[in-house]
Structure 1
Amino acid sequence: MMNIKNFRQEIDTLDEILVQTLAKRFDLCKQIAIYKSQVGMPMMQPERVKEVKERCSRIGEKHGLDAEFTRRLYGLIINETCELEDRLMQSFKQENQKPNRSDSLSKPIFSSN
């Protein structure tokens, strides 16, 4: 029989996986910002945001999660990644340069404020 310590260790492991997965998603969003800057695509893609929220809410429901909770969760994730993309794209504009794939990939994802 599992005790509270075992449950907490399992949750800690899952938290590690969640954070690692989010970091990978944010790294991919950096690459997307570079791509969008290279091709002149606007940062905000409202139809894509709606599509992701709806797709993820359906996936959540299949796994027993409340659809509204999943939409809100992805709203937070998407808002943060949009801010990240916007900061990167603005920095490229200020530098008057077309970014390449290695630009900004080694910079920290989150600010320390």
Structure 2
Amino acid sequence: MLQQSQVESWALRDELRKGGSGSDGTPHFMEQKIQLLQEVERLKGGLVQSEQARTNLLEKAKRYKIVYLKNEQKMEEELGMLDNMVETARKTLKSIPDVVQNYEELRTLQDLIS
């Protein structure tokens, strides 16, 4: 209501400043002008809300990107550890061929990681 009063007040002051010589000098012209000014104010408010929503969305996207990059780095580190474990197991099995030949499970494991 305050905003509406301010818009009406602004429109009336503007008309008085111009000397009251609106397009036809009728109250209808003033009503139209007030409605247009109110619509402009409503649209400005919508624009501000849209910009705030956009800003919030960008901040959220930045946070998600940071989490994604941290998860990607952690995954790369874990894959590196797994590669090291597999390589160590492969080398160990290769160093004891006589034991591997005596156990079916070890032969299967060696085949899988070779």
Same fold (TM over 0.5): no
Q: Pick 1 or 2: higher relative contact order, CA cutoff 8 A, min separation 6.
A: 1
Coarse TM-score class (shorter-chain normalised) = 0.3 to 0.5
TM superposition score normalised by structure 1:
0.37
TM-score for the superposition, normalised by structure 2:
0.37
Structure of greater Rg: 2
Q: Which has the higher helix share?
A: 2
